[in-house]
Structure 1
């Protein structure tokens, strides 16, 4: 049965023209929320506040499941309509043409891209005719209210665009009553005022057109303290001088094919696995490339983009969101949307001021186009989400130093971690930048440069640029400068603020919480290639649960990674930067860490030789109260590597505590000096 969904008015579902009962208000909210994100998994954690706001019922998830089940039964006979329960959410699949909101957006996009004003006006009229009243009438939730407002702004913008077409087609007399009513209903809208003035003037009512200008000018001056804009003032001067032919308001430009990609990286090498992963063609395709500063995320995205340009004939959009820029503030989503709309051919006068309205227009314009969108250097999910398209033919590449877990959970975005490049690929980068003759002439020095740059493309690029600037210097001289660990970060700089490894790391560090920053500094002191959670907790003087939470924040920020469960490591150059920041409190942190290791060793020794524990001398570090930590869990002697047991301290012999070398004397309570001493540890 043919199904039609009405959202631009009271929520209604029609099967072959007959209305279907889709339940009460909350159940209709569920239907509306799924229809607006048609074909996309809406996570339960997002769906609940959409339906109930900030005060959901205690059993909201169960109630939500019941609502979806009822809707599935009510629409079981609808052709092409499918409700699916996905991991953590729900998806409603249907033809977008059966949903009036999606049809409205398609018609708007067609109207704005039409070749002539007559065809454009017909599309606008068809789109506006879909409105049957206030969207989601009689339904209330904060989220629906915001969507309702956004749709209302899109409708108002479409009405203004339609009036532009009508005026250019000479329909000023027909449109005049509606234009005057709109100008009075929106007294601060200079575009509405200009349309009314032009219609009055063309109808032979010059004095009334001038009076309309004075009304708007006085209102703006009295209420806002500003004068009319330059375009309205110019129109006033033209009417005042009785110009024979006054141009109508500026038309919306025809859509163009944007080509905004920066140049492909010349020295790119390797990344075969990542490139192959990005090549997995699924629709919609959206990838979040995450990794530390300088690891080459943008290079990877641009390399793949340029290799696949033919797949995106409708253009490519690129924006540097400056999420971790050392100089500039992050680009707000509303500004990025404005740039995209301009690139898509929308005239500045037709770009809505509101972020939601801009997002709706942006999605409408690219809904049926095969485009690539690169969102580079994103700060967080809130900055990225409004820039995600709704169409199926668009591919999105997002790069960020953060993992953007919320984006992955709430949208159909897949993660792609980007780590250091392999050693052979690092050498290939040097070869491409410096030439085979120079690299092959000093193979040992070249290998040392590769080793000290630790697979970080930014570091390799800086070293290569320094060597290229001094072609007569031996590579060994640059390797010698990198050899000293305490000077390595100074060497890996170009003198320009954004192109410095220390600056790149600082940009990630300065957005950490105070506690995460303290743990980051402490981790720079830890010896060895990685560190276990209990040791990290001791190093940072934190309980294990708190340490685990902070380490998760650092992992999300790509400042540490977790190669195995419970073990954490830093990139070598990141560790150098962290150690630089940690000098002030390094002694206390290292004392805590050594105390932890001594404690683990003591517990292990008790497991291996329990009879020797009372003859071993005490470990001085363990008498420091700061080094106290929970008893570790270690494998029992003779057990398999995966079989672990929690080893508890053995009971001391029946003698005074001072005769027993207590592992934790400051935590020992000696209640008697007799053989019946009672102790708690």
Structure 2
């Protein structure tokens, strides 16, 4: 029996273990379980829970429900009959999610007896509408029986719409009144009042809920001195001071998980209504982004208009500019925008300006260096402003030095940005885009120091690009900033800043080679092409056509690639740009190879080699020698191919061209494999694999690893071949390369041992 009851509690994420004797004494605590987990079918769920608990208590089949109902009633009578204040507001009608936070509050309560003379304090923090008071009250009502001497509750108005924060003296006088102290007996002076309050609650077991606190200073005078009292504080401030001074348990409250958000709507609207319009429900959940207040407003509107489809409500919220105004149930306490404005009104002017600028910043998150450029503040002042926003839960530092806003908070911040001076706002965006452009350009140079950079305009005043130290730092920065770089280019498109649009495409060109020529990469270069053509800059038009053509090659779109590359070649010939002509011939060689015309591919590779020799660029000579050798190998001219690739390898190593070295090693692995020298083939493929891995170029790495498997098989090492092909298969699948993955799957299937006859 104890096992069944403990399992029931564990199922509801309540950490408790009861002996057989304790079960009978704690029968009334089953009320907490019943109330906490009410759902849309709460009557049915309640009865099911009642039966399970009654079974666990060993009640007879005839009177178990009647006896348990009597126990529930007795619990309520006991609480009502005890002396002491009962100031808690009405309990929330339903509660879902936040199981970890409830468990943390339970643990804090369980530890109360072992904390010596220290009062136990739990501080629940989070943004407006996230459900802090909801959580505190739910937990309080679940634990009423553990506070026989009563409960005190006060709304400290820390972030109230009209009046300022409540003075501690006012709160203490309210507590003294609740504790039965006559007005005439209240001493003068805050210290004396606090002393009386602490004396009255000494040796009592009470719950004290301090709701909507402004900061630690407002809360400190209201803390009792004895360990028998438990204090729960809610605030939009993180209240870190309570942890350092009073060993408080800090509970930052996040938004609801998708399942809990869905369940909340189901509780209000019914499962059938949600099941009838799953796409509309998904849209509503997306627009509310897990914020309980937003979900409650949506549910209220859907209840008020039962004949309206949920799709119609979702359509109303689809307009991001009007979303906040429509998440309003008709009064300030049921308005997402009002809840956020109360927090915003407490900000100092600098923090308010930074908050507004973050609302128009591109990307899903922002780093501290990017925020420095956005705001044109010093590093210390920008850090202080971000901390101020984080402190009141308008911003979250999800990783060291990286910050995010909740979707609805960002909409509110963007609305605040409309009130900024347009010149200030435009200058901030210029600095931010320049930050991404110049840092990305620096990162590309660190990764490929042999390629000539694109000439950028100086960064805007106040912009401070990251001083990246080396290629490792460049890779790390690119990995972290990829979504923001893409968003920066989109913002530049919206603002009509054409030069930055195509230069951003160039500055993040290696991202496509790392992840493959996906739709994202294609969109980046198409935006760059449009911008370059609008500018009418021949150099930009040639560069963008060359790279966009290469993306089409990798995507198997050869006609599109040929059209762009032939345009680029004609433009380069018109302005007598030999270097650009050489680059275009290299890409034309790759296009014709994939078309299956290796003779044309060799012709373009040879032309590229001659052009780069003429302008004396050793790095590109090496790349072209490798391309010539690769194409010759495909034509069966193995000796010439080997000589050209060995010459390319020597040039790459002499000039420190690690990328070219990796590609050339791959070519030599291919050539030695064709001539039956599988040992040298394997060695060259292994070296190429190491270099591609070090550079994070997983797209080309997949092909090298597949060919390495073939070299292993040529040496009779089936286990190593299998390991290589399994790695290649994983890479192909992650890159959505269906045809390549199918080919490797067939290779692996052919490796399976043949059953003995």
Q: TM-score, normalised by structure 1?
A: 0.55
Q: In the alignment, which residue of structure 2 is the partner of 1:277? A: 104
Q: In the alignment, which residue of structure 2 is the partner of 1:624? A: 460
- C-alpha distance 498-348 of structure 1, shift in aligned 2 (>3 A): same
Q: In the alignment, which residue of structure 1 is the partner of 2:436? A: 597
Q: In the alignment, which residue of structure 1 is the partner of 2:250? A: 415
Give the 3-state SS of the residue equivalent to 1:282 in structure 2.
Answer: helix
Q: In the alignment, which residue of structure 2 is the partner of 1:491? A: 326
Segments of 5+ residues of structure 2 without an aligned counterpart are 1-81, 113-118, 481-757
Query: 1:469 deviation in Å?
Result: 1.3
Cα distance in 1 for partners of 2:282, 2:479 equals 42
Match of 2:314 among 467, 479, 494: 479
- C-alpha distance 304-610 of structure 1, shift in aligned 2 (>3 A): same
Query: 1:406 deviation in Å?
Result: 2.1
Query: 1:450 deviation in Å?
Result: 1.2
Equivalent residues in 2 for 1:355-374 (5 A)? 355-374=190-209
Q: In the alignment, which residue of structure 2 is the partner of 1:263? A: 90
Cα distance in 2 for partners of 1:643, 1:586 equals 28
CA contact (8 A) 1:420 1:455 kept: yes
Cα distance in 1 for partners of 2:189, 2:102 equals 37
Moved more, 256-265 or 387-396: 256-265
- C-alpha distance 634-344 of structure 1, shift in aligned 2 (>3 A): farther
- C-alpha distance 628-413 of structure 1, shift in aligned 2 (>3 A): closer
Q: In the alignment, which residue of structure 1 is the partner of 2:237? A: 402
Query: 1:625 deviation in Å?
Result: 3.0
Q: In the alignment, which residue of structure 2 is the partner of 1:535? A: 370
Q: In the alignment, which residue of structure 2 is the partner of 1:152? A: none
CA contact (8 A) 1:592 1:626 kept: yes
Match of 1:450 among 285, 291, 304: 285
Cα distance in 2 for partners of 1:638, 1:602 equals 10
Equivalent residues in 2 for 1:541-556 (5 A)? 541-556=376-391
Cα distance in 2 for partners of 1:628, 1:558 equals 27
CA contact (8 A) 1:326 1:498 kept: no
Q: Higher relative CO (CA 8 A, sep ≥ 6), structure 1 or 2?
A: 1
Give the 3-state SS of the residue equivalent to 2:360 in structure 1.
Answer: coil
Equivalent residues in 2 for 1:233-244 (5 A)? none
> Could you give the per-residue CA deviations for residues 95-122 of structure 1, whole angstroms, max 9, x where no partner exists?
xxxxxxxxxxxxxxxxxxxxxxxxxxxx
Aligned pair 1:293/2:128, yes or no? yes
Query: 1:636 deviation in Å?
Result: 3.1
Query: 1:437 deviation in Å?
Result: 2.4
Query: 1:587 deviation in Å?
Result: 1.9
- C-alpha distance 451-634 of structure 1, shift in aligned 2 (>3 A): farther
Cα distance in 1 for partners of 2:144, 2:411 equals 39
Match of 2:178 among 328, 343, 349: 343
Q: In the alignment, which residue of structure 2 is the partner of 1:19? A: none
Query: 1:618 deviation in Å?
Result: 1.4
Cα distance in 2 for partners of 1:506, 1:432 equals 29
Cα distance in 2 for partners of 1:512, 1:633 equals 37
> Could you give the per-residue CA deviations for residues 503-562 of structure 1, whole angstroms, max 9, x where no partner exists?
111111111111111111111112222111111111111222221221111111111111
Query: 1:337 deviation in Å?
Result: 0.9
Give the 3-state SS of the residue equivalent to 2:331 in structure 1.
Answer: coil
CA contact (8 A) 1:635 1:641 kept: no
Segments of 5+ residues of structure 1 without an aligned counterpart are 1-254, 645-681
Give the 3-state SS of the residue equivalent to 1:627 in structure 2.
Answer: coil
Cα distance in 2 for partners of 1:384, 1:493 equals 31
Kindly tell me the number of residue pairs found equivalent between the two proteins: 387
Q: In the alignment, which residue of structure 1 is the partner of 2:693? A: none
CA contact (8 A) 1:256 1:345 kept: no
Cα distance in 1 for partners of 2:335, 2:272 equals 27
> Could you give the per-residue CA deviations for residues 66-109 of structure 1, whole angstroms, max 9, x where no partner exists?
xxxxxxxxxxxxxxxxxxxxxxxxxxxxxxxxxxxxxxxxxxxx
Cα distance in 2 for partners of 1:519, 1:643 equals 26
Give the 3-state SS of the residue equivalent to 1:431 in structure 2.
Answer: helix
Q: In the alignment, which residue of structure 1 is the partner of 2:214? A: 379
Moved more, 464-473 or 366-375: 464-473
Cα distance in 2 for partners of 1:296, 1:389 equals 25
Q: In the alignment, which residue of structure 2 is the partner of 1:464? A: 299
Query: 1:488 deviation in Å?
Result: 0.3
> Could you give the per-residue CA deviations for residues 205-250 of structure 1, whole angstroms, max 9, x where no partner exists?
xxxxxxxxxxxxxxxxxxxxxxxxxxxxxxxxxxxxxxxxxxxxxx
Higher normalized strand content (fraction of residues): 1
Cα distance in 1 for partners of 2:153, 2:165 equals 15
Give the 3-state SS of the residue equivalent to 2:351 in structure 1.
Answer: helix
Cα distance in 1 for partners of 2:157, 2:256 equals 24
Cα distance in 2 for partners of 1:643, 1:467 equals 42
Cα distance in 1 for partners of 2:90, 2:459 equals 61
CA contact (8 A) 2:280 2:310 kept: yes
Cα distance in 2 for partners of 1:353, 1:495 equals 42
Cα distance in 2 for partners of 1:493, 1:641 equals 40
Give the CA RMSD over aligned residues: 2.2
Higher normalized helix content (fraction of residues): 2
Q: TM-score, normalised by structure 2?
A: 0.49
Give the 3-state SS of the residue equivalent to 1:327 in structure 2.
Answer: coil
Q: In the alignment, which residue of structure 1 is the partner of 2:721? A: none
Cα distance in 2 for partners of 1:306, 1:442 equals 35
